[in-house]
Amino acid sequence: MNVQAYKNIIVPLLHETFDERESENLFKITLEDYFQKRYYDVRTYSLNEIEIEELNYIFEKITNHYPIQYIFNKAHFYGFDFYVDEAVLIPRPETEELVHWILTDNKQADLSVLDIGTGSGCIPISIKKNKPTWQIYALDVSMQALEIAQKNAHNIQATIEFIQCDILNFDKNFVQQKWDIIVSNPPYIPYAEKSLMSTSTVLHEPELALFVPNENPILFYDAIADFAQNYLNQNGKIYFELNSFNAQDVCQLLEKKGFTSIELKQDLSGKNRMVKAEFISN
Residue 189: φ, ψ to 5°: -100, 115
276/12 Cα distance (integer angstroms): 44
Give the model's pLDDT for residue 42. 95
Is-contact 63 90, C-beta < 8 A? no
Q: In order along the chain (282 residues), what is the average pLDDT of each group of 10 residues?
A: 96 94 96 96 96 97 96 97 97 97 96 97 98 97 97 98 92 78 96 90 94 94 95 95 94 96 95 94 64
Give the model's pLDDT for residue 177. 87
**pLDDT per position as a tens digit, 143-176:** 999 999 999 999 999 999 999 999 998 776 666 7
Q: Are strands 189-190 and 211-212 parallel, antiparallel or unpaired?
A: parallel
Please tell me the pTM assigned to this model.
0.94
Residue type at 156?
Answer: I
Give the model's pLDDT for residue 171. 72
Give the model's pLDDT for residue 174. 63
Give the model's pLDDT for residue 282. 58
Is-contact 74 30, C-beta < 8 A? no
